Amino acid sequence: MDFEHLRWGLLELILLIISVGLHEFGHAWVADLRGDPLPRLQGRVTLNPFAHADPIGTIAIPALMIFLSPGFGMLGWGKPVQVSLPNPKTRRVDDILITLAGPAMNLVLCLVIVVIGAALGVVPSLSKSSPAGYFLLSGLFLNTGLFLFNLVPVPPLDGSRLAVRFGLYSEEVFLNLARWGFIILLVLLNIPIFQQGMHWVLIQLITPWLYLWNFLLYLRS
């Protein structure tokens, strides 16, 4: 492993820790706004990414994937935000809003990245010869990917809670899926057709951000 690979690997890991941390903060913040006391009691209504990081899921496994490239997909995760949903009258709406807040935070980060890039006059780049463009574009891909992947309706991902709340399957089905959720996701991550499908959707989602980035650059020039 050369110094260049180590440097970019560390930057990618830091970017991931921040992105996952803000994703979990989104859940905690909206839960707090909806009157749920549990996230604040557990110290989760904070922008400190390490309050939301799991040593294995947010650091160890991603580091293994980034630095060693084992050749197969593995699943990382942040420390889940626990909620109590104390108001029976608004429980369904609260759960939906809290669940959506995590992926929504990743979209906010995408917007921040695009605005920063345009404000600095940085052109998005797939080449490390343009460090700023490459780093910001990596952040854009990462957060768009986190948004997309978290909407997959398999526990423990956010999409599974939304599936329950929107009636796509019952709590019983959710609990049965939850027993095997990590295994199901690990299998999916290593199936070529799933990888290709997710990549295709990712490109469709990231294209409008790139148009916006280039449009803002045009306005700046």
Confidence tier at 74 by pLDDT (50, 70, 90): confident
pLDDT of residue 75: 79
Q: How far is CA 10 from the centre of its chain?
A: 18
Given phi > 0 = left and psi -120 to 50 = alpha, else beta, which region is 79? beta
Q: What's the average model confidence in pLDDT over 9-36?
A: 97
Q: Which domain holds residue 120?
A: 3-220
Rounded Cα gap, residues 99 and 153, in angstroms = 12
Please state, in angstroms and rounded to a whole number, the distance separating the CA atoms of residues 76 and 144: 16
Q: Nearest CA to 45 among 62, 28, 59?
A: 28
- 9 versus 3: which is more confidently predicted? 9
Q: Looking at residue 221, what is its pLDDT? A: 82
pLDDT at 72 over 80: no
Alpha helices in the chain (DSSP H): 3-33, 38-41, 61-68, 91-119, 131-150, 158-165, 171-189, 192-220
155 class by beta-carbon count within 10 Å (0-12 exposed, 13-18 middle, 19+ buried):
buried
Q: For residue 89, give the DSSP letter.
A: G
The pLDDT value given to residue 89: 95
Number of domains in the chain: 1
Active site residues: 24
Which 8-state DSSP code applies to residue 221? -
32 vs 213: CA distance, rounded Å: 33
Q: What is the pLDDT of residues 91-149, one digit of tens each?
A: 999 999 999 999 999 999 999 999 999 999 999 999 988 999 999 999 999 999 999 99
For residue 183, CA distances in Å to 35, 63, 74, 136, 188 come to: 34, 20, 10, 32, 9
* pLDDT tens for each residue of 196-208: 999 999 999 999 9
pLDDT at 1: 63
Residue 5, pLDDT score: 85
Does the structure show a pLDDT above 80 at 70? no
Residue-wise pLDDT tens digits, 100-112 = 999 999 999 999 9
Cα-Cα end-to-end distance for the chain: 40
